[in-house]
């Protein structure tokens, strides 16, 4: 249940038979999430730290995974989440730009107007979501939310999304 899944193309994702995997600032974490109709839940375990958190929310104002991440940061002595916003290298912007499709719909990722950042245009709605570059191929897309692009040979075909350190979903490129 805690073994990452290997996709047909050979990429590994942090999901194992109903268990979400990941890390929070270098601390391995496993867990399970749930929610709907105005509530969200999460059970997270930091095995090396002997820490388990269970959070239930009955409001859509703050998601359980974010509350759990805030608590874990405090209990583990970790700093508060900071999105950072470094300048995106042009080669990385090219590698991730294109049409993407995931669990939450379609998006077009492209360089922002200043060309030192990227944004996602969400499903033809005209809304854009800024991506704050954190280094490597990782971007913050909200509080405790990260997207890690898998880049090979100058092109990314997979984006792995994490919330509160836990794997959330994989998004795949559908067009350049």
Which residue, 4, 10, 3, is CA-closest to 157? 10
Report CA dihedral (135, 138, 142, 143) to the nearest 10 degrees. -70
Output the domain CATH number for residue 157.
2.40.128
- Report pLDDT for 61: 67
Please check whether residues 43 and 104 belong to one and the same domain.
Answer: no
Classify 83 as helix, strand or coil. Answer: coil
Does residue 145 lie in a domain region? Answer: yes
Distance separating alpha carbons of residues 73 and 164, to the nearest angstrom: 10
- The predicted pLDDT at position 105 comes to 82
Per residue in 25-35, pLDDT tens? 999 999 999 88
What is the count of structural domains for the chain?
A: 2
Q: Domain for residue 162, yes or no?
A: yes
How much is the pTM? 0.90
**Tokens 């954190």 label which residue?**
134
Domain containing 56 equals 5-76
User: Average pLDDT over the chain, rounded to whole?
Assistant: 90
Torsion sign, CA atoms 143, 131, 120, 171:
negative
Residue 30: closest CA among 68, 63, 60: 68
């Amino acid at each position: 249940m805690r073994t990452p899944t290997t996709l047909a193309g050979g990429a590994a994702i942090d999901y194992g038979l109903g268990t979400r995997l990941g890390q929070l600032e270098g601390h391995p974490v496993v867990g399970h999430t749930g929610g709907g109709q105005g509530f969200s839940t999460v059970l997270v375990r930091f095995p090396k730290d002997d820490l388990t958190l269970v959070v239930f929310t009955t409001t859509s104002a703050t998601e359980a995974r974010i509350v759990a991440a805030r608590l874990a940061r405090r209990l583990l002595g970790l700093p508060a989440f900071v999105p950072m916003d470094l300048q995106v290298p042009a080669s990385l912007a090219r590698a991730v730009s294109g049409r993407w499709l995931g669990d939450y719909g379609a998006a077009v990722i492209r360089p922002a107007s200043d060309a030192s950042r990227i944004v996602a245009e969400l499903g033809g709605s005209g809304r854009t979501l800024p991506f704050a570059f954190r280094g490597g191929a990782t971007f913050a897309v909200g509080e405790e939310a990260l997207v890690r692009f898998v880049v090979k040979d100058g092109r990314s075909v997979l984006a792995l999304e994490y919330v509160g350190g836990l794997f959330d979903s994989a998004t795949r490129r559908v067009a350049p």
